[in-house]
Amino acid sequence: MERVIKILGIIIVFLVNFYSLSFTEEEINLLFKQANKYYDNAKYDSALVYYSKVDSILSASGKYSYKLYYNMANTYYKENDYVSSIYFLEKAFLINPYDNDIITNIAFVKSKIGDQRDLNDYFYFYIKIFNIKVYNSIIILLFIFILVTLILRFFKSKKKSIYKIVYTITIIYLFSFLIYTIIYLYFYKNFKYAIVKEDTSLYSEPFNGKYVSNIYKGYKVRILKRNGKFLFINYNKKISGWIESDRLLLINF
């Protein structure tokens, strides 16, 4: 019996890979453009069909696109499905944490389902004021300025106060980038997250546990451990409990 299951597993994997390889990059781009066209014409159901097809093709070969998830999130928002919109924005953020539009939209969609403070609200605030493109431009300009000032200093320039200001600003920017990187790696690479599908309850045990707390749709939770079909989750570092896995949308790939 086990041998049969293994053979079936190999066949399924082969068929999935064959399915993904049967589409060229050009064909995938055409599907994506068609989905965008449906979106622009306010045919959101049709757009989601094409976006989902592109997602299936890419994910079957282990590929993911933050642009695709961003567009899917916007489409679900147009359909007033805020939970799915948040879910796909979070997936887009996981791939591209430097995009401020993604962060802005997460906060905006969350406001539609109430004030939802979670583990990463301060992280969102931090990245909101931290634009990676602006950061890179400033760093380049600062290094050029430092280089120029060093050359001037070499020629006995007396403007030492300018050097101190520039050095201080550079250190602050480098330190801010370091903090951002540490936070991102700590929260998004070491933990699993999910979005709550619908209003539900948490319990003290996976089976026949006592009621702990309510938890509401759209909340982002951290997954700590699994027991069969149940997951032990944490919300906002304060509320923890067991919940059935089918009540969550898993974010991490």
* Paired tokens of 14: 């082969």
Q: How many CB atoms within 10 Å of residue 221? A: 25
H or E stretch at 137: helix 132-154
What is the value of pTM for the model shown? 0.70
Map tokens 């480098």 to a residue. Answer: 174
**DSSP state for residue 247 in the 8-state scheme:** G
Architecture (CATH level 2) of domain 192-250: Roll (2.30)
Write down the pLDDT at residue 19.
47
Collapsing DSSP to helix, strand or coil, 228 comes out as coil
Write down the pLDDT at residue 240.
92
Collapsing DSSP to helix, strand or coil, 197 comes out as coil
CA geometry: angle 202, 231, 61, nearest 5 deg? 135
Distance CA 34, CA 67 (A): 15
Map tokens 């991102």 to a residue. Answer: 184
Residuewise pLDDT in 10s, the chain (253 residues): 555 444 445 444 444 444 444 567 888 889 999 999 999 999 999 999 999 999 999 888 888 999 999 999 999 999 999 999 999 999 998 888 778 888 889 888 988 887 555 444 545 555 555 555 565 666 666 666 666 666 666 555 555 566 666 667 667 767 766 776 676 666 666 678 899 999 999 999 998 889 999 988 888 888 999 998 999 999 877 789 999 999 999 987 5
Distance CA 3, CA 221 (A): 38
CA geometry: angle 242, 243, 249, nearest 5 deg? 135
**DSSP state for residue 96 in the 8-state scheme:** -
Write down the pLDDT at residue 235.
85
